[in-house]
Amino acid sequence: MGKKKKKEKKAAPSKPCRFCVDKIKIDYKDDALLSRFLTDRGKITPRRITGTCARHQRMLSRAIKRARILALIPFVKEYYR
């Protein structure tokens, strides 16, 4: 019987981290900045999509969680049926 060929994964070109390049400070009180890194459902977007480095992704997720606790941004967006 014939062998199956494995699919080759193409490495996507890495995006530069927005926070490293522009020297942007991550602050939990800046809800406009934090809401850009949330999906329409309220989930935190992953590194591979946003292009942030590991260090800034950790800082970003910590700031989002702090802002949620203080009710600056919602845990879940409005859901209508």
pTM of the predicted model, to two decimals?
0.78
Q: Are 56 and 20 in contact (CB under 8 A)?
A: yes
Average pLDDT for 42-68:
94
Ordered domains of the chain (ranges, CATH): 18-69 (4.10.640.10)
Percentages helix, strand, coil for the chain (3-state, rounded to 5) are 35, 0, 60
In the chain, what percentage of residues exceed pLDDT 90?
Answer: 63
Residue scoring higher pLDDT (80 or 73)? 73
In the chain, what percentage of residues exceed pLDDT 70?
Answer: 90
Of the CA atoms within 13 Å of residue 57, those in its CB half-sphere come to 13
pLDDT at position 80: 67
Q: Are 74 and 42 in contact (CB under 8 A)?
A: yes
